[in-house]
Structure 1
Amino acid sequence: MEISWLNWLYTSVAWVLQKIHAGYSTFLAPDSGLNWALTIVTITVIMRILIFPLFMKQIHSSRKMQELAPKVQELRKRYKNDKQRMNQEVMKLYQGAGANPLGGCLPLLAQFPIFISMFTVLQAMAAGPAKFGMTQEFVDSARAAHIFGAPVPATFFTSAADIEKFGADPVVTKVVLAVFVALSSLTTFLTVRQSVTRSIAQMPDNPMAQQQKILMYISPFFAFFSLQFPLGLILYWVTTNTWTLVQQHWVYSRYPAPGAEEDTAKAKGSTGLMGKLKRGGKAEPEPVEEPPAPKIVRQQPNRQTRSKRTGSKKS
């Protein structure tokens, strides 16, 4: 999958990998699996931090488009017989509000060259000869490293003889790779499920909702293509999926969907303190029920009956 005009990017990724590995090598063995696992995780986190602004731009663009949805529906009804005019008016509306319909693709487009670069560099290290500015010592260190007993350059389809050349047990290597592929599949599903659930919550009447649900359940199977990827690349994929999962959870909770935001405010406002606030910012005091006044019981003296004729007391 090596693309010649991306050689500058491969060289850049290889340079960053070497610097991170050299940093960890100051207190870890250069050929240790922990060193290489930390190196791959660290470069993944660095790359995700660099494209985080694109993810935030995607969120803001998505919220703006959600808010503009009723106006877009009106334009589609008004110009339903003139598709060209309808598209022009819709784009004019988006531009006026600063919304970008392609904003949701920006993080994916940014991740693709990064993935290609990691794949190409790790494949080059697995092949053996140093490329893209890497030293032979650095490549040999990667080939000698084992993560949980599996060689970093090995794939699930690497032959037993080649795995033994890396100084590893073929059975252990296959098991470790299978576990990492399963983790890749699981994190892919959870990430897509989180995104689809939010999308459906934003637009319950979205005609593409059913297709999105189907994609949610199909997406984990694409992870099984990683069986042919080196262990180091699968570790990169699991790390980036985990990062996406945590990042989406944080952003979605911080920036809820417009509809969900209103529903939450209404639910809290109907019974809570926010529902009792006046425009002046002061809370209306709640009526206090006064306890019922105690009944006063007057004790009457016992009257003794008298005789009607004499007036004397009856004995």
Structure 2
Amino acid sequence: MWEAFKDWIFDCIQFFANVCGDWGLAIIIITVIFRVIVSPIMHSQIKSSYQMQKVQPLMQEIQTKYANDQARMQEEMQKLYAETHFNPLAGCLPMFLQMPIFIAMFQTLRELASHGTGEVYTFYTIVEDLTKTPKDMWAVGFGDFLPYLVLMLVFAFATFVPMMLQNMKSDSAQRNQMLIMGGMMTLMMLWISWSSPAGVLLFWGASSIIGIAQQQITQRILRSQDEAAEAAKPIEYKPVEVDVERKVKKKRPTKKR
């Protein structure tokens, strides 16, 4: 069944390649369709991350206050989740739901050359062979390797950028920690991309760019909703406090008899 699913994905890519006359453009079209399909799931994941950012300072306060009382800490955490309607597992489930589609796309593009259609899998004149890896093209020459290098950099930094955008408003210690983690992940992705086919890099890069755009748009909408909700709160009227300074009466002088 899994192989049949991958074959179906390949047939879809081939269909768009025949329509538009280019395999690279067909991969981008399929990537856009893939992103549209998983967009409700991604919206839920981004919303959960956004709520996490708002709840995190309160969580840290509880952890500091009840550091020596784990039972009370858990109780207060549960109260916080109930009051803020926040589910810490809500951000994990959407990621697992989209993984099968992503893995199938990844494997299909990695095995593109094994289909034996006799066609040359190109991306116009930009990338001459989507089945080749940057490692393969390095041996050919720098001019041929350059487009693959660009795909490598997009592949690597498209993983790093969403992490930084998500933690821009965090405290400096957490931001520095995420910066170090993001740098390590970027180096790891560069290493992975060195031996990955250009078709895989094109799919991942296009998917990540669309994901970054969706993240920014969704967060902007959520911030606008929060601002509108804050503005719609009824104004609390308090009685006017008048601070009157009373003069101290002087004693009348007594007449001497």
CA contact (8 A) 1:44 1:240 kept: yes
Determine the C-alpha separation between the residues in 2 that align with 1:57 and 1:38. Answer: 29
- Map of 1:185-204 to 2, 5 A cutoff? 185-197=156-168, 201=169, 203-204=170-171
User: Structure 1: which amino acid aligns with 2:36?
Assistant: I
Is it true that 1:222 corresponds to 2:193 in the alignment?
no
Answer with 1 or 2: which has the greater Rg.
Answer: 1
- Match in the other structure for 1:248: 215
- Match in the other structure for 1:150: 128
Structure number with the bigger relative contact order (C-alpha 8 A, sep ≥ 6) is 2
- Match in the other structure for 1:208: 174
Give the deviation of 1:72 after TM superposition.
3.9
- What TM-score, normalized to structure 2? 0.71
- Match in the other structure for 1:81: 68
User: Structure 1: which amino acid aligns with 2:27?
Assistant: I
Gap regions ≥5 residues in structure 2: 236-257
Determine the C-alpha separation between the residues in 1 that align with 2:121 and 2:102. Answer: 21
Give the deviation of 1:40 after TM superposition.
1.0
Determine the C-alpha separation between the residues in 1 that align with 2:175 and 2:205. Answer: 27
Distance 1:245 1:78, change over 3 A: closer
Is it true that 1:55 corresponds to 2:31 in the alignment?
no
Determine the C-alpha separation between the residues in 2 that align with 1:248 and 1:53. Answer: 12
Give the deviation of 1:154 after TM superposition.
0.6
Deviations 1:159-209 (A, max 9, x none): 78xx9xxxxx66554222112112323433333321221xxx2x437x533
Distance 1:59 1:150, change over 3 A: same
Give the deviation of 1:108 after TM superposition.
4.1
Gap regions ≥5 residues in structure 1: 1-6, 29-34, 131-135, 164-168, 267-277, 280-315
Determine the C-alpha separation between the residues in 1 that align with 2:224 and 2:70. Answer: 29
Is it true that 1:184 corresponds to 2:155 in the alignment?
yes
Q: 2:201 aligns with which of 228, 234, 240?
A: 234
Deviations 1:11-32 (A, max 9, x none): 324313312421441453xxxx
Identity fraction in percent: 26
- Map of 1:1-315 to 2, 5 A cutoff? 8=2, 10-26=3-19, 28=21, 35-69=22-56, 72=59, 75-76=62-63, 79-91=66-78, 93-95=80-82, 97-126=84-113, 128=114, 130=115, 136-137=116-117, 140-141=118-119, 144-147=120-123, 148-158=126-136, 172-197=143-168, 201=169, 203-204=170-171, 208-224=174-190, 225-256=192-223, 261=227
Determine the C-alpha separation between the residues in 2 that align with 1:69 and 1:258. Answer: 19
Give the deviation of 1:241 after TM superposition.
1.5
Determine the C-alpha separation between the residues in 2 that align with 1:68 and 1:188. Answer: 25
User: Structure 1: which amino acid aligns with 2:155?
Assistant: S
Higher helix share: 2
Distance 1:61 1:179, change over 3 A: closer
Determine the C-alpha separation between the residues in 1 that align with 2:20 and 2:177. Answer: 50
CA contact (8 A) 1:184 1:238 kept: yes
CA contact (8 A) 2:122 2:129 kept: yes
